[in-house]
Amino acid sequence: GQQLNQSPQSMFIQEGEDVSMNCTSSSIFNTWLWYKQEPGEGPVLLIALYKAGELTSNGRLTAQFGITRKDSFLNISASIPSDVGIYFCAGQLTNGNQFYFGTGTSLTVIP
C-alpha cells in the first residue's frame, strides 16, 4: 500500500502556541483529508482538500493541499488543551477509491 509519512511524530507544546504538521507521499493524490482522534474515540474529519494549492480553514485550523499534490499541511493556531489528540492525514490516489492514512502526529498541549 501507499506510504504517507507524517511529521513530527509527536509534539509537546505550551497552551497558546501555534502548531504545524505535515504529510508527504511519493505518489500524487487528488484529495487530502485531515482527521483528529481523541483518546478512546475513532477519528473525526476536520478538513477536506480537493485541489492543488487549496487553503481551507476550520476555526483555528488551517490546512493546505501542496502544489506538487504529494503533500499537505495542517496548522493549529493558539492551541488549547482540548486540541490534544492524534492527527491523521489521509490521501486518495487519482485513480483509486481507497484512502491511505498517515502515521499520525500525537499532540500534547501543556496548560
Q: Which of 11, 25, 39 is nearest to 106 (CA)?
A: 11
Rule CB under 8 A: say whether 48 interacts with another protein.
yes
The β-bridge partners of 91 are 32, 100
End-to-end CA distance of the chain: 39
- How many of the chain's residues bind another protein (CB under 8 A)? 23
Contacting residue, 12, 14, 26, 40, with another protein by CB under 8 A: 40
Stretch that binds another protein, among 14-22, 34-42, 56-64, 77-85 (CB under 8 A): 34-42
CA 82 distance to own-chain centroid? 16
Q: Which set of grid coordinates corresponds to residue 19?
A: 502548531
Compare residues 40 and 59 and give the one whose CB is closer to another protein. Answer: 40
Q: DSSP class of residue 66?
A: -
Rule CB under 8 A: say whether 84 interacts with another protein.
no
Compare residues 77 and 84 and give the one whose CB is closer to another protein. Answer: 84
The β-bridge partners of 106 are 10, 86
Q: Which residues bind another protein (CB under 8 A)?
A: 1, 4, 6, 9, 31, 33, 40-45, 48, 88, 90, 92, 98-104
